Structure 1
Amino acid sequence: MESSCELDLVYITERIIAVSYPSTAEEQSFCSNLREVAHMLKSKHGNNYVLFNLSERRHDISKLHPKVLDFGWPDLHTPALEKICSICKAMDTWLNAAAHNVVVLHNKGNRGRLGVVVAAYMHYSNISASADQALDRFAMKRFYEDKVVPVGQPSQKRYIHYFSGLLSGSIKMNNKPLFLHHVIMHGIPNFESKGGCRPFLKIYQAMQPVYTSGIYNVQGDSQTGICITIEPGLLLKGDILLKCYHKKFRSPTRDVIFRVQFHTCAVHDLDVVFGKEDLDEAFRDDRFPEYGKVEFVFSYGPEKIQGMEHLENGPSVSVDYNTSDPLIRWDSYENFNIQREDSTEGTWAEQPLPGKHLEKG
C-alpha cells in the first residue's frame, strides 16, 4: 500500500491509529488505498472502530467504514478551539465505551492536523487517565515529536498550548470584548524584485470573512514598517484568522505573506506581538525578515485610540481601496467541503469536559 500512494499507517497506541496520505496523492491510487485500508481495519477490528476524518468530507470514506465522524478543517490551519474539545470528547467517550474500541484518525495533507488532535488528546486524557495509561501518553508524545513537529505550523502549536492551558487552569478565560485598531508589520517582506511588497489583510472570525483592507504599496528601502489601521475598531470574539497577502504587480495572482490564528479568550494584553517564528508560512520564508514581527493593537471599545499618531505611514506608502478586485475579494475557504456545525455534538460529544470547562467562543 505504501509504495503506490505514500500511505502512512501508524498504530500510535494499541487503540489509536493514524492513517495519513500526502496532499499530492493521485486520485486513482488514493481511492484504491482507501479501499485497502478499510478492508484491513474491518478484518482486524470489525465494527469496533470509529474513523475521525480530519480532512475534506468525501462520500467514499463514509461508505467504506461503519462509523465516520467528519471533523475536517483546511490543511495547514488549526481547528476552532471548540472543535478540538469536541474531537477529544468524542474520542474519549468511544474509547471508554468498550475495551476493544479503536479510534482511526484519517488525514489527507500535512500531518499537522494529526498533531493537533494527538497532542490535544494527550493533554485531555492526562486529566482523567489512570497511571497504567502513562505508556500511551508517552507513545502519543513520541509520535507528535517525531512525525508532526517538523511539519507543523506555529498556530497549531499555539492552539495546543491554549487547550492544555485552559484544561489545567494555567490560562484564564478572557471574556472582555476586544476591538482591533492597528496591525503593524515591523520589517518589510521582500516580495517584489526591487524590494518591498503590496500587502492586504483578510480577517476571519469562525472562518467567516469579516474584514478586508485596502492594498498597501510599500517600498522596502523607504520604510522600516507599515501600519494598517481599522477605524472604528473591529470587534473580534472567538477563533480569529488573519491572513496577509501580497498582490503581485500587474499579475492576477497573490502570495501569502503570513497567516496567524488565535483565540480571543487567551488574549489578555491590548498589545500582542507575533515574531517571525509565530507566523504561519512566514516562519520558513526567507522573504520575511528574520527580525520581522507583527503587532496587534486592541482596545475595549470601537473608539479611536488617542495618541497613536506616531503609527501613521510615511508619504511613500500608498493605499488602493479598490477591494472590488475579484482577487482581493476571493475567499479561499468558502469551497472547503465541511459542515459549519458539527453534527456529532449531540452524540458522543455530550460529556462535560474533565477538569476545566471550555466555554463556547
Structure 2
Amino acid sequence: MALLRRLFYRKPPDRLLEIADRVYVFDCCFSTKTMEPFEYKNYLGNIVLQLREQFVDSSLMVFNFKDEGKSLVSGMLSLYGITVKDYPCQYLGCPLLPLDMVLHFLRVSERWLMLEGQQNLLLMHCEKGGWPVLAFMLAGLLLYRKQYNGEERTLVMVYKQAPKELLQMLTTLNPQPSHLRYLRYICRMDSKLEWHTQRIPFSLDCVILSEVPNFDGVGGCRPIVRVYGQDFLMVDKNYKVITPPSHARTQANHYKQADNVPVKLNVGSCVQGDVVLECLHVDDSLEDERLMFRVMFNTCFIRSHILLLNFEDIDISWDAEQWFTKNFKAEVGYNFSCVPR
C-alpha cells in the first residue's frame, strides 16, 4: 500500500504511467488506437522533452516489445540519442518469452536502475499487440525487485492498468495461468537469477485429460496434441512444431463425455527448456481445428514424472467455461530420458 500511496501522490510526466520508482510505461500501450507517423513522432518527442526537463541528470533506456520487422520506436528515439532494446512480443504464439530472455531483461533492467551514482530511468513500450507480454514483464520486474508481493496480486495489478477488454482483444486465450507459472519460476530463483538445475531433456510421453470437454456441441471432442519448442534430438535448434508426424489430425479419435472415462493422448516428443503445448479439437471433416487449451512451461522446473494441470492452470478462451467443468485436469506425462524416435 505504501508503494501505491507514493505513486498516487507523485505526478509522472504526461502520457506516461509510473509503475515503479523510475520505471515508466508509455500510455499508448494501453490503447488500441493507432497513431499516424507524424502524430506518433510528436507524441514521443513531447515525452522525451518532459523527461529531460524533469530529470536533468538522468539517462533514459527504452525496452520495446514488438513483432518481427523494423521498429518504429527504435528509429524515432534514436534521433534523441536514446538506447532502445527490442524484445519479441510472443513465443510460438504464446504471449510470453523464453525464460532465458525473461532473465536477460531482468538482469539488464536491474543493472541499469542500480548503476552507481546515477538515477537512470527505464521506459517500457510495446507496439501493436504487445501489451500482454509487456504486462507480464512488468509484473516480473516488480516481483524480482521486491517492490510488490505475491505473483497473482502483482500480475492482476498490472493487468488493471489497461482496460480489461484490451487483453481480451489481443489474446484468443486468457494468458494468466502461464504468466503466473513463469512468475513463480522467477520467484523461485536466487538473487542472481540462477537456478541450479541441469537442463536434462525429457521425453514427453502423453497427455491425459480427466474429462472430455464439450467442443463438438453434443458432449464430446476429437482431441489432438501439438507441441512447440526446441527438439533436443534435431540438429536444427530453431523453435518449431516437434510433435511426431504419427499424431496427425487424420488419426484423431472421437471421445464422448457420456463414456465418463479419462482420455490418454500419446505424444512421444523429446523436449527441453521452454515448451508450448496445445490441445486442439478437430471437427468431423478433419479439416478444421479449434484450440481447446494451451500451456507454456519450462522443463527445468519439473520435479516428477507428471506435470499436473488443474483447470486454473491452463490457458483457455475467455468464454471456455461452458465447454469445461471446474474439475477438469490435464496430466502431462514425462520420462527423464530421450530415446531417438
TM-score normalized by structure 2? 0.72
Give yes or no for contact 1:179–1:236 (8 Å, CA) kept in 2.
yes
1:164 to partner: Cα distance = 1.4
What amino acid is aligned across from residue 278 of structure 2 in structure 1? K
Give yes or no for contact 2:142–2:154 (8 Å, CA) kept in 1.
no
Instruction: Provide the residue aligned with 1:148 in structure 2.
Output: 159
1:114 to partner: Cα distance = 2.7
Matches within 5 A, 1:17-96: 17-19=24-26, 21=28, 25-27=32-34, 29=35, 31=37, 34-46=40-52, 48-57=59-68, 58-66=70-78, 67-74=83-90, 77-96=95-114
Q: Does 1:290 align with 2:310?
A: no
1:181 to partner: Cα distance = 1.1
**Equivalent residue of 1:94, what SS?**
helix
**Equivalent residue of 1:71, what SS?**
strand
**Equivalent residue of 2:207, what SS?**
strand
1:50 to partner: Cα distance = 1.8
What amino acid is aligned across from residue 316 of structure 2 in structure 1? E
Q: Does 1:116 align with 2:139?
A: no
- In structure 2, list runs of 5 or more residues that go unmatched: 1-13, 53-57, 168-174, 231-238
Give yes or no for contact 1:276–1:282 (8 Å, CA) kept in 2.
no
**Equivalent residue of 2:213, what SS?**
coil
Instruction: State the alpha-carbon separation in 1 of the partners of residues 49 and 96 from structure 2.
Output: 33
**Equivalent residue of 2:264, what SS?**
strand
List 4+ stretches of structure 1 deviating above 6 A.
Answer: 139-143
Instruction: State the alpha-carbon separation in 2 of the partners of residues 22 and 196 from structure 1.
Output: 40
1:160 to partner: Cα distance = 0.8
Residue-by-residue CA offset, 1:132-165 (whole Å, 9 max, x unaligned): xxxxx14999874423277652111100101110
Q: Does 1:101 align with 2:120?
A: yes
Matches within 5 A, 1:3-22: 9-19=16-26, 21=28
Instruction: State the alpha-carbon separation in 1 of the partners of residues 190 and 248 from structure 2.
Output: 39
Instruction: Provide the residue aligned with 1:181 in structure 2.
Output: 205
1:210 to partner: Cα distance = 1.0
Change (3 A) 1:239 1:170: closer
Instruction: Provide the residue aligned with 2:248 in structure 1.
Output: 214
Instruction: Provide the residue aligned with 1:205 in structure 2.
Output: 229
- In structure 1, list runs of 5 or more residues that go unmatched: 1-6, 127-136, 305-361
1:26 to partner: Cα distance = 4.8
1:14 to partner: Cα distance = 4.2
Residue-by-residue CA offset, 1:224-265 (whole Å, 9 max, x unaligned): 3211113xx422111111011222334854321000011111
Aligned length: 285
Instruction: State the alpha-carbon separation in 1 of the partners of residues 16 and 118 from structure 2.
Output: 22
Instruction: Provide the residue aligned with 1:238 in structure 2.
Output: 273
Matches within 5 A, 1:338-353: none
Give yes or no for contact 2:20–2:142 (8 Å, CA) kept in 1.
no
Greater relative contact order (Cα 8 A, min sep 6): structure 1 or 2?
A: 1
Give yes or no for contact 2:89–2:129 (8 Å, CA) kept in 1.
no
Instruction: State the alpha-carbon separation in 2 of the partners of residues 54 and 140 from structure 1.
Output: 24
- Greater Cα shift, 191-200 or 242-251: 242-251
What amino acid is aligned across from residue 202 of structure 2 in structure 1? L
Give yes or no for contact 2:89–2:130 (8 Å, CA) kept in 1.
no
Instruction: Provide the residue aligned with 2:182 in structure 1.
Output: 159
What amino acid is aligned across from residue 118 of structure 2 in structure 1? A
1:275 to partner: Cα distance = 0.6
1:284 to partner: Cα distance = 5.6
Instruction: Provide the residue aligned with 1:191 in structure 2.
Output: 215
Instruction: Provide the residue aligned with 1:341 in structure 2.
Output: none
RMSD of aligned Cα (Å): 3.3
